[in-house]
A and B are shown apart, each in its own frame.
Chain A
Amino acid sequence: MTQPVIEVTKLERAFGANRAVDGMTFDVEPGEVFGLLGPNGAGKTTTVRLLNGILPPSGGTMRVFGLDPATQGELVRKQTGVLTETPSHYERLSARENLEFFGTLAEIPKQALGSRVLKILSFFGLESRANDKVETYSKGMKQRLALARALVHEPPLLFLDEPTSGLDPEAAQQVNDLIASLSRRSGQTVVLATHNLLDAQRLCDRVAILNKGRILALGSLKELSRKLWPVTWVDITLFNGTSAESASASIKALGGVRQVTAEKESLAIQVEAEEVIPQVVSALARENIPMLKVNPRAYTLEDIYFALQAGEG
């Protein structure tokens, strides 16, 4: 069994009376994209800072690559890349100078630095503007440069804090594609701190939903849906003119079916698990009931998120 990249147990960080991180426990496995989701003030950025040894914790334990960020921050930061929420650059310097500076701090050997910087600039489509001052860049270009900065030393663990914040849809799409490709192509572990639920649903293998420094729920989309809604609903639309009322009689008695609601040509069926749905469809087919559409209800991360936050509120 591989060791988790990040292991956090009962982690706490207080600023005066405010508990920004309040007893978080979670692991992040190698190669996964892990989401930290929550509204502003949920503790996402503070968690990223704690895990990089920028802030000391008030309590609990944390390990990143088996190291304690609080006492071995430099060693941890050698293996992490961070895209900060406000990814400001040295605007009076060129993109190349910016990356060479951070590459030097990350101890990229002098002889490899130039080619590494060019390679990453070209990967992010900034090669032709490499020597231009960053102050002449568009917002999307600056965001790509910030990602390049986080990646220039090829860290195995990447923290991305609101990576698409303030970007137009096109630039946001580009950044999301890049993040997806990082995990797929190079097996990098990614921790994505965001309140953009669509991005998180698209990119994350697992998420921790946070509020006021605490984890409300942790798991994959499927696991979280099951936890919140242990039963599954399937909506079946019958072919034109078929009575749903008569159709319902043939499935009510099936094992695993909990509840059937019939309305005109539609059936809403509550089943114990997804596996029951094919049995329902077979039963209707056996009775020669024509079906137009079978639609298992899928919960989005948004449904889960708001259900959890409402429970908190």
Chain B
Amino acid sequence: MNWRSIWAIARKDLKEVRQNKAAWAPAIVVPLMFAIIMPLVFIILPQVIPVEDVEREMGDIATLLKNMPPTLKMIFDGKSLEQMFVIYMAGFMLAPMFLVMPLMFSSVVGSDSFVGERERKTMEALLYAPTSDMELFLGKVLAAVLPAIGLSWMTYMVYIVVVNVASFNLFGGIWFPLASWWPMMFWLTPALAVLGISATVLVSSRVKTFMEAYQLSGSLVVLVLALVVGQVTGVLFLGIGTALVIGAVIWLVDAALIYISVKKFKRSSLIARL
């Protein structure tokens, strides 16, 4: 395995996608909104609106808290109404939104790299390079996965800083991230980044344009939205155990998809699609 070639392919793909602002800008801007604007709204809101409104809102939340596993409920013990509201919104409700980032970013880069390259007719010259099919595949996968994870982690850091700074007075110290965020960051996020790219590779053999590939693989976001709905309805809470289990399932799916992708990623079939 020639790692110099693999990194060269990954670097080249990233340089290329960096120039395609229309592709990556929405994938970065939206999560940044979740990292900065949304927490500010949810943290500042209970401090400026009348207490009765917060109480009414908390009445709804209280029903949801009933369904919460005792381990998660402990977090709310002894907290004021405002604090409970902020923990609930910033610590739970917004959490799944951050999982959109690795999925979307790896889909964008993957679509540009696997389908965009074919669309721009640059694939043929690449196939004539003295690299193996596996090196070519790995280079393209790394170009999508590594920045997806890196950018997600950066967004988490921004969010952690924003939440703690904005709610410092309310809590009198640093309280975030909650324990459940650690598996989300280091277990679920990489799993979703790999899911995004492996789905894109499979989709890439059936579509002709970058946009088609992006839209198809991007539709995986529905999975993440299911988590949001789960939490809002109180059916599913993103605690440590849940994050670990969901992560494990996604990693298994990743392994299966990557296995199929590697089998399918052959020069002879790639050239036939040009």
Contact = CB atoms under 8 A, between A and B. Distances in A.
Given A54-B271, A86-B121, A93 B130 contact: no
Nearest to B19: A92
Contact of A52 (B4, B20, B128, B272): B128
A174 interface: no
B53 to A, nearest CB: 51
Given A74-B132, A105-B130, A107-B130, A55 B122 contact: no
B9 interface: yes
B2 interface: yes
Interface string A80-115: 101010111111110001000110111100100000
A149 interface: yes
Contacts of B125: 82, 84, 87-89, 102, 146, 149
A252 interface: no
Contacts of A84: 124-125, 128
B268 A56 contact: yes
Given A86-B121, A86-B124, A93-B15, A106 B271 contact: no
A93 B12 contact: yes
B16 A49 contact: no
B205 interface: no
A48 B56 CA distance: 74
A25 B91 CA distance: 71
A77 interface: yes
Mostly, the B contact residues are helix
Contacts of B15: 92-93, 97
A97 B272 CA distance: 27
B130 A106 contact: yes
A106 B8 CA distance: 11
B111 to A, nearest CB: 16
B127 interface: yes
B2 A107 contact: yes
Contacts of B268: 54-56
B130 A74 contact: yes
Interface in B244-266: none
Given A54-B267, A54-B271, A93-B15, A104 B5 contact: yes
Contacts of B4: 104, 107, 110
Contacts of A74: 130-132
Q: How large is the interface on B (under 10, 10 to 19, 20 to 34, 35 or more residues)?
A: 20 to 34
A106 B129 contact: yes
Contacts of A56: 268
B5 A105 contact: yes
A86 B274 CA distance: 11
B267 A73 contact: yes
B120 interface: yes
Contacts of B124: 84, 86, 88
Interface in B1-48: 2, 4-5, 8-9, 12, 15-16, 19-20
Interface string A45-58: 00001001111100
A78 interface: yes
B7 to A, nearest CB: 9
Nearest to A81: B128
Contact of A105 (B20, B121, B131, B272): B131
Nearest to A91: B120
Nearest to A85: B124
Contacts of B272: 15
Nearest to A102: B129
Contacts of A97: 12, 15
A33 B122 CA distance: 27
Contacts of A75: 130
A110 B19 CA distance: 25
A88 B128 contact: no
Contacts of B131: 74, 105
Interface in A20-41: none
Q: Which of B9, B15, B121, B124 has the most CB of A within 10 A?
A: B124
Contacts of A55: 267-268, 271
Nearest to A104: B8
A246 B130 CA distance: 70
Given A55-B268, A56-B268, A90-B16, A105 B129 contact: yes
A296 to B, nearest CB: 43
16 contacts: A49-B271, A54-B127, A75-B130, A77-B128, A78-B130, A80-B128, A82-B125, A82-B128, A88-B122, A88-B124, A89-B122, A90-B12, A90-B120, A92-B15, A92-B19, A106-B129
Given A53-B267, A92-B16, 6 more contacts: A54-B271, A56-B268, A74-B132, A80-B128, A82-B128, A88-B121
The 6 closest A-B pairs by CB, nearest first: A77-B130, A92-B19, A88-B121, A105-B129, A104-B8, A78-B130
